[in-house]
A and B are shown apart, each in its own frame.
Chain A
Amino acid sequence: MDISYFLLLRQEISLLAIALLLVIFEIFISEHKKSAVVHLAVLLFGVHTILGFLSLEEGALFGGMFRTNSLIHFFKNILNLGVFIILLQSAEWIREKIIIQNRGTEFYVLLFSSLLGLYFMISAGDFLMFYLGLELSTLPLAALAAYEIAKMKSSEAGIKLILSSALASGISLFGISLLYATAGSIYFADIMGTVTGSNLTVLGMVLFFAGLSFKISLVPFHFWTADVYEGAPISIASYLSVISKGAAVFILMILLFTVLKPLMDYWENMVYLLAILTMFIGNLFALRQQNMKRFLAFSSIAQAGFILLGLITGTQLGTATIVYFVLIYIFSNLAAFGVVQSISLQTGKENMKDYEGLYRTNPKLSLVMMLGLFSLAGIPPVAGFFGKFFLFTAAASKGYYLLVFLAVVNVTISLYYYLLVIRAMFLRTSEDAIPYFKNKTYMRLGLVISVIGILLLGIYSPVYDYIYLLSSTFN
């Protein structure tokens, strides 16, 4: 095998190298300079993100276990961008709270391992690689969710995440084994040719789908979400809500649109039902939340429901709109999470009531939050509107007008609770409003990047055109 084949693994190798470098760095650095690891991690990952945008050849490795093409590569870049923003937003928290416990490097190693797992998961060419990637991405996350050892809730989040993930991957694995039993192979390419609508295959597909639904937190597999988001450190909650969810959506989409395409008659109805359930439950439960993290948890459940509107199509349009939506969703949600994180770090306050009068004391932060929430709610001219409009267009292109109608009803419901936050920040004034504070450079950079994304990704149409072009590789 030619050594240049390994260039296909470039992203994975470079990420692994960063993780290892950080470990080595940890050994040699003196005790009182530990916080340098934050700078190093941000710097290395920044370079990794930028290098990721160099073009990559298509191809498969290890007898088809690992494959990559321009869309997969692009999606890894999207994940990189998201993780980079998360690194920027969490830098302050690591420096103040984690480094003193001497656990800074571990945080990055665990986070990068999880990302590596996601890389392998979306590049999988067979179910074995898929499963390995899934596990590699989940196990470090459980450790990360429990990272604030001093807090009971954090430990609770870790346990909840690991238990429900274990159950989910068990179910997934059972589904995979049934698919293997009927198709006689675990390679996607082989299964594609032999899959039929036999009962066993359908059962395998449903179980597999259910397992992945845990990761995307579709109703009724969402019960872990709010508790874990609330307990986990905010940067991990944001990682769960955008990065790992985005990757899971992506691989589910690839599998449904290619390998399981012959079963479309079956999964179409399933997705239809799950979309309605997820949108309504997510939105209705978000209405009454007071804690901002729980609030964003339910909002992210509802957003997953909207994504299913693209998933139901099974067409190139569906692929393009989903990838586009996930890209925008990463930026929007990270803007919101970033503000929540910086306020929580400065004042320890996490409730919606604490945000009252925020605009009068911290106007810039409130504007970032407003843009993020408008984008999540889908209000033009910010990017979220375009993401949602195109998802709805995709669903309507298959004639699912009723589903689109229910979705727009949900958009209106969701607008209500997003406006509640805006009402607290802008309309209300409060005696004990959060006093003015200045964010550190990294946090500011993280917020600025998210805002630029929110403002430009929608209006600047070549982004979508490019994604549409890439999506042709799978359909």
Chain B
Amino acid sequence: MDILSLFIIIPMLTVVALFFANDLKRARIIAMIGSILQFGMSINLLIRYFNERSVNDSIMLFTRDLVWFKDFNIHYSVGVDGISVALLILTSMVVLAGVFISWKMEELPKEFFISLIVLSTGVYGFFISLDLFTMFVFFEIAVIPMFLLIGIWGSGPKEYSAMKLTLMLMGASAILLVGILGIYFNSSADGGPLTFNILEIAKVNIPLEAQKLFFPLTFIGFAVIGALFPFHTWSPDGHASAPTAVSMLHAGVLMKLGGYGVFRVAMYLLPEGTLHWSWFFIVLAAFGVIYGAFAAIKQTDLKYINAYSSVSHLGLVLFALLMLNKTAWNGAILQSLSHGFMTALFFALIGMIYERTHTRDVTKLGGLLKVIPFISATYVIAGLASLGLPGFSGFVAEMNIFVGAFEHPDVSYRIATIIAISAIVVTAVYILRVVGIMLMGPVKNEAFLTLEKVTWYEKTGIFLMLLPIIGIGVAPLWLSEMIMESIQPFIQGVL
């Protein structure tokens, strides 16, 4: 058994075990054991990756290739580079934290954890796939449990949000399917067999006309899940209605599928299409960055604030990717990671605050720092990381993005960069405003004085997210190097 397939097999076994769990206690224990194993696996993978990388310089490591449908040349083909390894660690940590945060999931616990783990299986599979078909399969597996997760365990207009989210994401994946088929039928090098393998296709020069046609399909197909403006509308509603762990997993991990897919498939396989279309999508991405930030200012619901902040932050990822240079790309991947931990932490904290105060309306909250100091202090840290304070992961990522983007020789691209940078200021406004109203000042509501203290499982979840935020912020170099190394072959393909 190879080390990567375990990333699919362990969650599947966890799901099978969960089928036999009849109550909350057993379900959460099984889910916890499964996620801890998974987390251990990803750390193990990281260590083995470093050892292997020092002796092996092929693009993908730990590869495994099995023929699946031989007439279509579809393979089950997996492999990782530094980027996938980093994202796998992110996923396993957020899933583990999500399990801890859902410790008291009273309603249909078994079904909840099954859906959660199935979702994570899709994400793991997506990050390790080297075959477009397999990748696409995992992509859809990751999306569809969201319907049940939001619809059953959500709050507010949950049915509407669940339906909207599922239809928009599945619609995007349907468009993506056309793009993938287009790539597939142009993938044969002078009459050779067609292939779905990403590394093989990258060696082929797909005709320019086909690239121009299929790049937007592939790009939009992935970017919708990365909340590209104007296809982001599923995200605020979805996040607001989702239960805490699902918001964490969704904003923290699932939305990263977009940037990763754009990077790995759309840009790598269709480089000329990328050059042709990049200006158009840069405009959209830059607008999304600004729009998300301004929209966040106007919101009073904590979850909506963070959802729009995600639109803004993930807009930066797509923006940086489209700038087509190494520093910006490095920033984009770092931003994916940093945003993953940060948002997951935010949603976890919001969930805790909501559980205690039964409101997410900022205007009704006040003085929380006095009554629930631990949660409030962590909220401040997460906020500071989110607005890019040095010492936290957000700073490292955004610094790389803006430096890289500004390196672009074209003046209009630089103007776009300046516009996007200004979003930082707006970010500071909505973060500090929330901190001011919600955490500082006098306690607004008598009932808040008797709020429950933070529990051990909540603390565990928080620490799991907080450590990497500070870790990346203080010592980013090893991670940055690992990513840079992996970007190298891709940047050569594009330029």
Could you list which residues of chain A lie within 8 angstroms of chain B, going by C-beta atoms?
317, 320, 374, 379-381, 385, 389-390, 392-393, 396-397, 399, 401, 404-405, 408-409, 411-412, 415-416, 419, 422-423, 426-427, 461, 464-465, 468
Contact = CB atoms under 8 A, between A and B. Distances in A.
26 contacts: A379-B140, A380-B136, A380-B137, A381-B141, A389-B133, A389-B177, A392-B177, A393-B184, A396-B181, A404-B177, A404-B178, A405-B178, A409-B171, A412-B167, A412-B171, A415-B166, A415-B170, A419-B167, A422-B147, A423-B163, A426-B151, A427-B148, A427-B162, A464-B69, A465-B70, A468-B71
Contacts of B184: 393, 396
Question: Which 5 residue pairs are nearest across A and B when measured between Cβ atoms?
Answer: A408-B174, A427-B151, A396-B181, A412-B171, A380-B137
Contacts of B70: 461, 465
A308 B243 CA distance: 42
Nearest to B154: A427
Interface in B142-166: 144, 147-148, 151-152, 158-159, 162-163, 166
B175 interface: yes
Contacts of B148: 422, 426-427
A380 B140 contact: yes
Nearest to A412: B171
Contact of B185 (A320, A379, A397, A405): A397
B182 interface: yes
Contact of A415 (B159, B167, B213): B167
B463 interface: no
Given A393-B72, A393-B184, A412 B174 contact: yes
A43 B185 CA distance: 48
A393 to B, nearest CB: 6
B152 A392 contact: no
B68 interface: yes
A125 to B, nearest CB: 29
Contacts of A397: 185
Interface of B: 68-72, 74, 133, 136-137, 140-141, 144, 147-148, 151-152, 158-159, 162-163, 166-167, 170-171, 174-175, 177-178, 181-182, 184-185, 213
Contacts of A385: 137, 140
Contacts of A389: 133, 177
B167 A465 contact: no
A408 B175 CA distance: 7
Nearest to A428: B159
Nearest to B141: A380
Contacts of B174: 408-409, 411-412
B185 A464 contact: no
B21 to A, nearest CB: 14
Contacts of A380: 136-137, 140-141
B140 A412 contact: no
Contacts of A379: 140, 144, 170
Contacts of A426: 148, 151-152
Nearest to A467: B71
A465 B140 contact: no
A281 B321 CA distance: 41
B151 A423 contact: yes
B140 A393 contact: no
A436 B163 CA distance: 28
A349 B68 CA distance: 43
A146 to B, nearest CB: 39
Contacts of A427: 148, 151-152, 158-159, 162
Given A385-B137, A409-B174, A464-B71, A401 B162 contact: no
A130 B140 CA distance: 42
Which of A320, A393, A464 is packed against the most chain B CB atoms within 10 Å?
A: A393
A399 B159 CA distance: 39
A392 B180 CA distance: 11
A343 B240 CA distance: 36
A397 B71 CA distance: 13
A408 B184 CA distance: 17
A465 B144 contact: no
A378 to B, nearest CB: 9
Contacts of B181: 392-393, 396, 401, 404
Nearest to A404: B178
B344 to A, nearest CB: 25
A128 B159 CA distance: 55
Contacts of A320: 71
A343 B474 CA distance: 61
Contacts of A461: 68-70, 74
Contacts of A468: 71
Nearest to A427: B151
Which of A390, A416, A422, A461 is packed against the most chain B CB atoms within 10 Å?
A: A461
A448 B307 CA distance: 42
A380 B141 CA distance: 6
Contacts of A464: 69, 71
A390 B144 contact: no
A107 B167 CA distance: 43
A147 B351 CA distance: 57
Nearest to A416: B167
A393 B183 CA distance: 11
A404 B185 CA distance: 13
A390 B72 contact: yes
Nearest to B214: A401
Nearest to B139: A380
A120 B175 CA distance: 41
B118 to A, nearest CB: 10
A399 B178 CA distance: 11
Contacts of B151: 423, 426-427
B175 A396 contact: no
B178 A408 contact: yes
A398 to B, nearest CB: 10
Contacts of B170: 379, 411-412, 415
A210 B144 CA distance: 38
Nearest to B210: A401
A401 B71 contact: no
A379 B166 CA distance: 12
A415 B152 CA distance: 18
B120 to A, nearest CB: 15
A465 B175 contact: no
Contacts of B185: 396-397, 399
